[in-house]
A and B are shown apart, each in its own frame.
Chain A
Amino acid sequence: MTEHPSQSVKFYQTGTHTVGNRLLDETKRTVQASVDRSNAITSGHRACQGCGEALGARYALDSAMRATDGQLVAVNATGCLEVFTTPYPETSWQLPWLHSLFGNAPAVATGVAAAFRVKGRKDVRVIAQGGDGSTTDIGFGCLSGMFERNDDVLYICYDNEAYMNTGVQRSSATPPFARTATTQAIGEAPGNVFGTGKNLPLIAMAHNIPYVATASVADLHDLEYKVTKAMGMRGARYIHILVPCPLGWGSASDATIQVARLAIESGLFPLFEAEHGEVTQVSKIRRRVMAEDYLKVQKRFAHLFRKEGKDVDKIAVVQRMADHNIKRFGLMDEETAQ
């Protein structure tokens, strides 16, 4: 297995989790730290303050640009990322970029890759990207088809756990109990009433594609490493990035990284890599937090924390999901697990 920079060096300052980028070896510093970064999504776009998707996409695309020496094409599904980086003539994209529809980005990317292959341009690589709605719902068929054919495309899902661009409606990636505009916090069963969210990384793994990884804006170094690694491979690859949305989640816009970190440290969003359907690497939880700590900083779960008292049963359901992940992926070392 390739050496994992964010784990081989541990310069964390207690309490802040800041990685001492400048203390790292030149080659291991973040792409963003370099003056040569491509600025694939340049400044001036219209994302909300603290948008996790804007941050995730910027890091992902700049890493992929570096990994491919700038020979990169991006296909974008409809959604926040597409909308806030455009309209004409104010596009933020500094690389060739194509938006077709909400549900077809994986197929469009297949076509782009096929065109470059037939023209003998093996150096030009293709990324497709979309939100959780386009990935886990409307574009799911096209994504599965692209995986099954093992087309030479890296697909990145920016998961903010709802249809944000249309005003925060529930998607199949919305977690249980979350309040959205179509699962309002009213009535007998407030918030999202069923499901645990569709687990697309596991579904992607079931296609036995060369590479699947999860990543988070709370660990941008790790995100860059995974995108870089994916661009070093051929065939269908999938990276699922958790990107908090202050607007939809009701979290503070300066707390995006913190919320994303709580998702990891609680076990609710496991960070791992898988190759050909087998998990090959897992990021261990460093300092475990309870699911409750993650839920209570987001207004979308406010109905679980009413003045009359906490909804302990529902919080316990979410805790069980976290526990299950910790066990399933081995997220904790024996000694920290207690």
Chain B
Amino acid sequence: MHHQIEGSEAVARAVALCRPEVVCAYPITPQTHIVEGVGALVKKGQLTDCEFINVESEFAALSVAIGASAAGARTYTATASQGLLFMAEAVYNAAGLGLPIVMTIGNRAIGAPINIWNDHSDSMSMRDAGWIQLYAETNQEAVDLHIQAFRLAEELSCPVMVCMDGFILTHAYERIDLPSQQEVDAFLPRFEPVQVLDPAHPYSIGAMVGPEAFTEVRYLAHDKQVQALQLIPEIGQVFSEVFGRASGGLIHEYKSDGAETIVVALGSVNGTIKEVIDVMRGDGLAIGSVSICSFRPFPLDELRDALKSAKRVVVIEKNLAPGLGGVLASNVRMALRGATATVYTVIAGLGGRPILMNSLHDVFIAASEDKLTDVQFLDLNQAVVDLELERARTTRHSGPTAESILRQNAKVGE
């Protein structure tokens, strides 16, 4: 049924349709509405047989989830930004223990300077923790990916993060097709854990493993991700059969067939990118895009195939790897090893800076003329940066950079 609702509310309802048995909540913007929504559904009695637990930190949230999942309960939590970093140790632990927890990330920047707006720094920091990472392009896809995530997690005994852009998706009101309980029940089988704490069959979970077996254990974690490369499209296929719409999968291609310039990005910015591509196609440019839905596992072969016609690839990166460039671009380069296409990294949308069509248009034109540098910052205010660099050069006690940049901005605006 179609509803005009907020992304967070839609995700809360989708999660509830998956009948989680334990949900842990700790607030952080922009994730709050999601856990509030699930909590309300439990209180209203619409989500039954579910323990909704308010905890004292994100570290506790995921730790409670670890205990619940190890005891055989379908378990869910959500976080963002500082919260994800605060639970970092448990993030790795959940994956190491092979616990099929599903967690939403309402993608948000990481401080300092503290910033509540969207980019992908948070989930990127956990990219190698052993979780599957899916990025939603739209709120409809966020809903659909959560339903798929539980099935994927439980089939593989591997935790799954569903990443959705903070505010841009979490707080956007859109028309969403929410499936019925019957449909979800038909798609998502009961959770049958491969390992469970059970007094009838006692075993030890999480004991120490030495050098004699650690490599094999880690290899199997990698192998799980490789299996997921098969399973993600399969589950996407079953999903489209049950729900009547395509959602998920490894990558989404848009007018990329035969394109000479191909844009690659994660998440909601793909919507804007497609609009720019439509304009540029109208002007006769051979440009297309690939949206990556599954960042972990990283679909090397599929991406390589999708980019085969490209002379150049422009990666729109909502994160920064200081001293290198961007994380996504490094991964894309890995997919293109041996190929001749040039890969440009465009750092964009950090800390919620709007990614404007005009700016993208300019950068894609420059790219198609191979006039981009390797790493480019979209809409960087170079004048302010230069002033700040100069000030730091001439004054030892130059104070907080962030503040002086804002002062410069104010002056520039005067």
Contact = CB atoms under 8 A, between A and B. Distances in A.
Nearest to B54: A149
Interface stretch (A11-19, A115-123, A196-204, A215-223): A115-123
Contacts of B68: 111-112, 114-115
Contacts of A71: 199
A289 interface: no
Interface in A49-78: 70-73, 75
A108 B72 contact: no
B204 interface: yes
B244 interface: no
Contact of B72 (A86, A104, A113, A115): A115
B199 A114 contact: no
A99 interface: yes
B67 A96 contact: no
B50 interface: yes
Contact of B53 (A72, A75, A96, A149): A149
A88 B93 contact: no
B59 interface: yes
Interface string B174-209: 000000000000000000000001110111111111
Interface in B30-62: 49-51, 53-57, 59-60
B170 interface: no
A100 interface: yes
Interface in A69-106: 70-73, 75, 82-83, 86-88, 91, 93-101, 103-104
Given A99-B207, A101-B93, A118-B51, A142 B202 contact: no
Contacts of B90: 100-101, 104
Interface in A106-141: 107-119, 124, 141
A115 B71 contact: yes
Interface string B50-84: 11011111011001111111111101000000000
Contact of A107 (B64, B70, B207): B64
A115 B21 CA distance: 7
Given A142-B60, A145-B56, A100 B71 contact: no
Interface hub of B63, B198, B203 (most chain A Cβ within 10 A): B63
B324 interface: no
Contacts of A88: 204, 207-209, 213
Most chain A CB atoms below 10 A, which of B49, B64, B72, B75: B64
Contact-residue size bin, chain A (C-beta under 8 Å from the other chain): 35 or more
Given A112-B70, A115-B22, A118-B22, A107 B202 contact: no
Contacts of B375: none
Residue picked from B89, B199, B202, most chain A C-beta under 10 Å: B199
B413 interface: no
B75 A97 contact: no
A141 B58 CA distance: 11
B204 A97 contact: yes
A70 B202 CA distance: 10
B399 interface: no
B56 A98 contact: no
Given A119-B73, A145-B55, A112 B67 contact: yes
Nearest to B22: A114
B21 A142 contact: no
B43 to A, nearest CB: 15
A26 B201 CA distance: 30
B21 A98 contact: no
B96 to A, nearest CB: 9
Interface residues of B, number: 43
A82 B93 CA distance: 16
B97 A100 contact: yes
A73 B57 contact: no
B64 A93 contact: no
A280 B174 CA distance: 59
A278 interface: no
A86 B207 contact: yes
B205 A87 contact: no
A144 interface: yes
B201 to A, nearest CB: 8
A111 B203 contact: no
A148 to B, nearest CB: 7
Contacts of A75: 67
A104 B22 contact: no
A72 B199 CA distance: 6
A162 to B, nearest CB: 21
Contacts of A144: 56
A287 to B, nearest CB: 42
A204 B207 CA distance: 29
Given A91-B207, A98-B206, A109 B67 contact: yes
A95 B197 CA distance: 9
Contacts of A103: 59, 89
Given A88-B207, A115-B22, A100 B63 contact: yes
Contacts of A94: 202
A87 B208 contact: yes
Given A87-B209, A118-B21, A108 B64 contact: yes
Interface of B: 21-22, 24, 49-51, 53-57, 59-60, 63-73, 75, 89-90, 93, 97, 197-199, 201-210, 213
9 closest pairs, A vs B, by CB? A111-B67, A145-B56, A115-B71, A107-B63, A104-B63, A86-B207, A87-B208, A111-B68, A115-B73
29 contacts: A73-B71, A88-B207, A88-B208, A91-B207, A94-B202, A95-B202, A96-B198, A96-B202, A97-B205, A98-B204, A99-B204, A100-B97, A101-B93, A103-B59, A104-B63, A104-B89, A107-B59, A109-B67, A111-B24, A111-B66, A111-B75, A114-B68, A114-B73, A115-B75, A117-B51, A118-B51, A145-B57, A145-B60, A148-B56
